[in-house]
Structure 1
Amino acid sequence: MALLTLDEAKRQLDIETTAHDVELQLYLEALAPVIEGYIGPVENRIVTETLTSHGASLCLRQTPVVSLTSLTPVLDGGAALDVATLAVDTVTGVITRRDRFLFCPGPWTAVYVAGRGTVPATVKLAAAILLQHLWRTQYGAARGAVGGGDDYAVTEPVAGFGYAVPNRVLELLEPYKMPPAVA
């Protein structure tokens, strides 16, 4: 699953030839890290990470969570817990035990799938607009108004994104924004 296919990108940019396909593929590959930096994983991926217990819960770092594959204590060669005995909040990544017992301090190894399963339409549109914005930079001032007349102008940097991501993209992604992290 990709945020945008090559054909979708070419339609967005009104490109009808294959002359820019290699360069365009580089732009397409650059979209996911930018968008996922704001809303978390979009494309499903298997994640393996080491966690420390907080007593009643464990917290996965990459959300949203599609499914939990395994949860195994690292010390003493412990056996994996039956994932059917665990509850996973797919939005926050918090794992709790259905029997309400506490987790031993750990560490624990969690294997899970993070992502969204499908790309929501607004995320796909945000990716298309971001692609169009980034693609236009290769032409400089020759292909657009300078000094704020450009519909894709980013006049104020957004915290953490600089000038690379237009506000319209961030507004489309807002409903999917990651919850604040807990330190």
Structure 2
Amino acid sequence: MALLTLAEAKQQLDIETTGHDAELPLYIDALAPVIEGYIGPVENRIVTETITSHGPALCLRQTPVVSLTSVTPVLEGAALDVASLALDTVTGVIIRRDRSLFCPGPWTVVYVAGRGTVPATVKLAAAILLQHLWRTQYGAARGAVGGSDDYAVTEPVVGFGYAVPNRVLELLEPYKTPPAVA
């Protein structure tokens, strides 16, 4: 599942020929890491991670979470029945339904992180980001002048520099990942 297809990218950029078909996938592939760096996984992926238990809960690092596949103690013991666990898909916190504690030690957790489907607002943000990135390369050749249009970013956003326009960040705001707990 890609944030944009080649056809959607060409439509956003008003490209009607095949002249850029070899170059556009590079731009399309660059969208997901930038957007996911801000809002967490969008495209579904299987994640395996080792987590140290802190008593009543296990906390997954990549959120949101679509589903939980397995939870297995690293040192000894059988995998837990995932039906006996409650998962907060937004925060990635796993607790036991019977409220018992997880035994100390590392656990191997396999889960699917992502959003199931790409929300329309995130898809629009990806299209606008694509247009911005494409325009920075081809702007002068297509008549774009200076930084006076909607794609100008007058102040850098911490961690993003000038690569992500403010309008993209505003579209992604409702989907921002919650702060991590150490």
TM over 0.5: yes
Q: What CA distance in whole angstroms lies between the structure 1 residues aligned with 2:7 and 2:140? A: 27
- Once the two structures are superposed, residues 53-83 of structure 1 have per-residue CA deviations (whole angstroms, 9 ceiling, x without a partner) of 110000000000000000000002x210000
1:38 maps to 38
When the two chains are superposed, the root-mean-square deviation of aligned CA atoms in Å is: 0.9
Q: What CA distance in whole angstroms lies between the structure 2 residues aligned with 1:24 and 1:153? A: 22
After superposition, residues 1-183 of structure 1 pair within 5 angstroms as 1-76=1-76, 78-142=77-141, 143-146=143-146, 148-183=147-182
Structure 1 gap segments, 5+ residues each: none
- Once the two structures are superposed, residues 93-135 of structure 1 have per-residue CA deviations (whole angstroms, 9 ceiling, x without a partner) of 0000001110011200000000001100000000000000000
Q: What CA distance in whole angstroms lies between the structure 2 residues aligned with 1:54 and 1:47? A: 20
CA contact (8 A) 2:58 2:93 kept: yes
Q: What CA distance in whole angstroms lies between the structure 2 residues aligned with 1:179 and 1:105? A: 26
The residue type paired with residue 60 of structure 2 is: L
Q: What CA distance in whole angstroms lies between the structure 1 residues aligned with 2:130 and 2:175? A: 19
Structure 2 gap segments, 5+ residues each: none
- Once the two structures are superposed, residues 18-50 of structure 1 have per-residue CA deviations (whole angstroms, 9 ceiling, x without a partner) of 110111000000000000000000000000000
Q: What CA distance in whole angstroms lies between the structure 2 residues aligned with 1:139 and 1:25? A: 16
- 1:87 is paired with a residue whose SS is strand
- TM-score normalised per structure 2: 0.97
The aligned length equals 181
In the TM superposition, structure 1's runs of 4+ consecutive aligned residues that sit over 6 Å from their partners are none
Q: What CA distance in whole angstroms lies between the structure 1 residues aligned with 2:75 and 2:90? A: 28
Q: What CA distance in whole angstroms lies between the structure 2 residues aligned with 1:177 and 1:32? A: 14
CA contact (8 A) 2:139 2:145 kept: no
- 1:75 is paired with a residue whose SS is coil
